[in-house]
Amino acid sequence: MARSALKSLQSLKDLAGRASRSGGRPADETASDPLIGELRAALSPDRVRSDGAQKALMKKDASVFEGGVSGPLCYPESTAEVQAIMKLAEKYDRGVVPRGAGTGLAGGAIPLGAPIVIAATKMNHILEVDLDNRIAWVEPGVINLDLTKHLAPMGFHFAPDPSSQQVCTIGGNVANNSGGPHCLAYGVTNAHVVALEVVLPSGEVTVLGGLDAEPLGYDLRGAFVGSEGTLGFTTKVAVTITPNAPDVRTLLLSFDTVRDAANTVSAIIAAGIVPAALEVMDQRITQAVEAYVGAGYPTDAGAVLLAEVDGLADGIKIDAERIGDIGRQHGATNVRQAETDHERALLWKGRKTAFGAIAQIAPDYYLHDTVVPRSKLADVLEQIYEIADRHDVLVMNVFHAGDGNLHPLLVFDGREEGKLDAVHAAGAEIVTASVAAGGVLSGEHGIGVEKQAYMDLMFTDDDMDHQARLRRAFDPVCRANPGKVLPMGHSCADIAALRSVPADVWG
């Protein structure tokens, strides 16, 4: 199965590469192109870019996948301007790709087939905060952490907190149904979005969901969140805001082995405790983080568990003590509780900057994202170490242990001949092992182009046919983010990905 997945992935890479080598649309599109001219008339000349340098910046995201070919880049400032872009895309039969901060790790924002790229950069306003109803209306380009900073003086925050929250956008969080360390207790993005204003690929504007407790009709809001830009472009989002907890306690537990840390996580949940967060880091990543930011992690521990509880002071004091006791029963060599806000912030800074710490070791990394049952965490982690060793790839593990969301970091130097192939081969086996253990393909990064090749590990042809039908209900010709999520051959997405490349490119 892993070999089949690699073959499918290679086909996608070849497809994208062919477009890249041929250049897709000319590298320096000008106003002489009627599409460019009409886009500039609909927005303004300075907010429609077609120069090679700008398009080069947009041809990939934070993933390891290459080969994107961008068409014109548009920076709308209003719903009406997004409508105009969609209508012109329909008129000229071009695909459209929504773009947030480009922090995605599954290749979901890579433009395939020289589509129009619609960047949310200038749609970055917090429109309204309703404290009584605990709702905020925001535009898609609002940075995740900026929303929380805006709410902090009011005693609230936005609960989903991806590791990239300092730069990722709310629109991107919606597209990928992003999670984060605190999703264990508070839920992923879908649990915090009540309504969406959306521009469909036809240019029609609609509102999905609503502020009523039980909006009428089907939950199309739920279908849209996590659809990775394949159903339309979000222009406004109504999110729930969460009151800040009256008290917080953060613990760092040290263990000799990753298995002991993983077993402790299962025991904590089995004891009826649902912490705000349970994060595990193995020794390799702990050492890298400590050298990078000096967060106070023990570098001699085989693994550390970062556990946080929040709520009423008396209750979380008891929970913190119980977590410490459970840890010791499962081999914790040390249990430390942060004594000050500064110490707590340092511990979280270490966790949130784990991926940046990798630069000290190698220039490249491939961050995977699968989910396994908590009871299988230790077994799958041992398989991951064995797989990486067999492919001669360095792996480090840092993950949302509370909900079994694994993030193996395959660290490498892409300049070494054959190394990237070894990384992809190891990655394919990790995904296969995770699904075989009863897990799923992705917890929060999405499918994008990365996991397309593995969709048949989880879904039958009938399953994917029904997913394609849902997509076509929103977008009959697969104009939105073409070539993503569904595998080649399972929908019109593979045809749509090529629609805008001149016929003479393909012969």
User: Can you spell out the DSSP letters for 372-409?
Assistant: --GGGHHHHHHHHHHHHHHTT-EEEEEEEGGGTEE-EE
Read off the pLDDT of each residue in 460-464 and give the average, rounded to a whole number.
94
* 19 has a pLDDT exceeding 70: no
Task: Using the predicted structure, report yes or no on whether residue 148 has a pLDDT greater than 80.
Answer: yes
Binned at pLDDT 50, 70 and 90, residue 500 comes out as very low
Q: What is the token pair recorded at 53?
A: 């340098």
Residue 3's pLDDT is 46
Average pLDDT, whole number, for the chain?
90
- CA dist 227 and 174 (Å) reads 8
- Lowest-confidence region among 8-17, 92-101, 297-306, 405-414: 8-17
Q: Confidence band (pLDDT; 50, 70, 90) for 217?
A: confident
Partner residues linked to 399 by β-bridges: 280
Mean pLDDT (whole number) for 244-259:
97
The pLDDT confidence band at residue 215, using thresholds 50, 70 and 90, is confident
| pLDDT of res. 123 | 98
Give yes or no for residue 22 having a pLDDT over 90: no
Is pLDDT above 80 for 499? no
Whether pLDDT at 378 is above 70: yes
Domains, the chain, in order of start with CATH, read 23-121 (3.30.43.10), 126-243 (3.30.465.10), 248-352 (3.30.70.2190), 362-450 (3.30.70.2740)
Which range has the worst mean pLDDT, 63-72, 399-408, 435-444? 63-72
Average pLDDT for 197-223: 94
Q: What is the pLDDT of residues 269-278, one digit of tens each?
A: 999 999 999 9
The predicted pLDDT at position 376 comes to: 95
96-99 and 116-119 strand pairing: parallel
Residues listed for the chain: 507
Bigger pLDDT: 236 vs 32: 236
State yes or no: pLDDT of 501 exceeds 50: no
β-strand partners of 97 = 117
pLDDT over threshold 60, residue 432: yes
pLDDT at residue number 54: 87
Residues 6+ apart with CB under 8 A from 431: 2, 5, 368, 370, 441, 451, 454, 457
State how far the Cα of 505 lies from the Cα of 501, in Å rounded to an integer. Answer: 7
Give yes or no for a contact between 242 and 157, defined as CB atoms under 8 angstroms apart. yes
The confidence score (pLDDT) of residue 355 equals 87
pLDDT confidence tier of residue 491, bands split at 50, 70 and 90: low
Would the pLDDT of 137 be above 80? yes
Query: What is the per-residue pLDDT for 492?
Result: 55
The fraction of the chain above a pLDDT of 90, given in percent, is 83
Phi, psi of 254 (to 5 degrees): -105, 145
CB 386 within 8 A of CB 408: no
Give the confidence band of 313 by pLDDT, cuts at 50, 70, 90.
Answer: very high
Does the pLDDT value for residue 213 go beyond 90?
no
Q: Any idea what DSSP says for residue 169?
A: B
CB of 451 within 8 A of CB of 442? yes
Using pLDDT thresholds of 50, 70 and 90, give the confidence band for residue 216: confident
- The span from the CA of 293 to the CA of 347, in Å, is 10
Determine the average pLDDT of the residues in 253-281: 97
Could you give the angle at the alpha carbon of 375 between the alpha carbons of 299 and 401, nearest 5°? 40
Q: Binning pLDDT at 50, 70 and 90, where does residue 262 land?
A: very high
Q: Torsions phi, psi of 333, nearest 5?
A: -90, -20
State yes or no: pLDDT of 422 exceeds 70. Answer: yes
pLDDT at 388: 97
pLDDT of residue 44: 95
